[in-house]
Amino acid sequence: MNNKTNLVIVSFVAAIFAATVIVTTPTTIKHASAIVGDAPTTTVKVHAGGGNSTNMLAVFVPHQVQIRVGQSVTWDNPSPVPEPHTVTFVLNDKTMTTPDVPFTVRSSTQFMPVPPGANSQPNMIPGKDGMNTVIVSNVRGYYPTLIDSIGHAKVLGPNGNFTITGNEQYVNSGWLLPKATTLYPGSSNTFTVTFQKAGTYNYLCDIHPWMAGTVIVK
Ligand SMILES: [Cu+2]
């Protein structure tokens, strides 16, 4: 690549996972709705994923929880294999995104695995006139990210903790992985959201869009 190289960049990590991890949807699972007490400090726990080594679950358990204003929900990922999930609230349809999106970079760039030595390499596809396609990642898909009412995006480090006041456009956990799994910077083991406004908040997993859940805030 040289300085004239225009790079169209899309993400590759999700594709690697999608290709290497086999996920099966469960045939039977209890979708109990959890209802908690009045304590304002109450935190409800929800599992993103789970199952066992022969039957990986791609569901939220419980898929619906009911809390009171001021209470919180914490998600974790108890999967027996390092299958990532996300908790993604798309509160404005225009903010829907995925880890796989295009970017352009108008300069010479080196692409190094992160962390160094990781089993990865950029997916570079030669194109016309020195233009190459390179696959990289969308931070707003991998890191805990919140977009506020006026479109400002706030990206947190791992294990982010957000408050939803009711005006947000997008709240994403980023990639949640089982504890002790550290695949790359930005992934988390837990994600916590405190809800400050009554309402029904639907969310999904960005990686397995059939994984959906609801938080009802009374
Ligand atoms: Cu998932």
Per-residue pLDDT of the chain (218 residues; tens, 9 = 90+): 444 434 333 333 333 333 333 333 333 444 445 555 566 677 889 999 999 878 889 999 999 999 999 999 999 999 988 899 999 999 998 998 887 777 776 666 677 777 777 777 777 777 777 777 776 778 888 899 999 999 999 999 888 899 999 999 999 999 999 987 766 677 899 999 999 999 999 999 999 999 999 999 99
Provide the pLDDT for residue 91. 94
The burial of 54, by beta-carbon neighbours within 10 Å (0-12 exposed, 13-18 middle, 19 or more buried), is given as exposed
Ligand 1 centroid to residue 137 C-alpha, Å: 17
CATH number of the domain located at residue range(s) 7-217 in this protein: 2.60.40.420
* pTM of this structure: 0.76
Which pLDDT belongs to residue 22?
Answer: 35
> Hey, is 133 helix, strand or coil?
strand
Dist. CA 49 → ligand 1 center (Å): 7
Ligand 1 centroid from CA 206, angstroms: 7
What is the C-alpha to C-alpha distance for residues 212 and 89, in angstroms, rounded to an integer? 10
Predicted pLDDT of residue 23:
37
CA of 57 to the centre of ligand 1 (A): 9
